[in-house]
Amino acid sequence: MTKFATVGGIGFVIDLLIFNALLFSGDDGAGPLHDSPLWAKTLSMTAATVVTFAGNRLWTFRHRARTGLAREYSLFFLLNGIGLGIALACLGFSRYVLGLSGPLADNIAANVVGLGLGTLFRFWSYRTWVFPSHESRRPASESV
């Protein structure tokens, strides 16, 4: 859990920095994607996903069974896509249903609520499907 949190923390920092740079980095407080928070979140989380895949595969879950790079990478990105969907739903609801915007509202919706819920989903799904445990096979019982 500590390794997962460390890798996730690094991914969080990358996600947070890129997200805020894309939305709020200009002199007037408006970044290049200030009117497109869902695109900003998609780009920032994609960058963080590339880094977290490497960290999780090579460090967090290195002791787990290897099922092939292509399979692990595909599943990792698919499951991160679901996690991204959770974050986008929270951000979209905050922005477009509740009418909340700005650095605080967008970061709470996307990077606290959305990322928190997405992280719970990702931890469970990585352990279950992407980096499964080694199958423990017990020898068949022998009759005495």
Start-to-end CA span in the chain (Å)? 43
Q: What does each of the 144 residues of the chain score in pLDDT, given as a tens digit?
A: 788 789 889 999 999 999 999 999 988 889 999 999 999 999 999 999 999 888 887 887 777 666 777 887 888 889 889 999 999 999 999 999 999 999 999 999 999 999 899 988 888 887 787 777 765 334 444 444
How many domains does the chain divide into? 1
So what's the pLDDT on residue 130? Answer: 72
Whether 142 is covered by a domain: the verdict is: no
- Tell me, letter by letter, the H, E, C secondary structure of the chain: CHHHHHHHHHHHHHHHHHHHHHHHCCCCCCCCCCCCHHHHHHHHHHHHHHHHHHHHHHHHCCCCCCCCHHHHHHHHHHHHHHHHHHHHHHHHHHHHHCCCCCHHHHHHHHHHHHHHHHHHHHHHHHHHHHCCCCCCCCCCCCCC
So what's the pLDDT on residue 48? Answer: 94
Q: Name which of 16, 40, 17, 21 is nearest 95 in CA terms.
A: 40
So what's the pLDDT on residue 64? Answer: 67
Whether 17 is covered by a domain: the verdict is: yes
Phi and psi based region of residue 99 (left: phi greater than 0; alpha: psi -120 to 50; beta: remaining): left
pTM for the whole structure: 0.78
CA distance 88 to 111: 10
So what's the pLDDT on residue 137? Answer: 35
Whether 140 is covered by a domain: the verdict is: no
Residues of the domain holding 38: 2-130
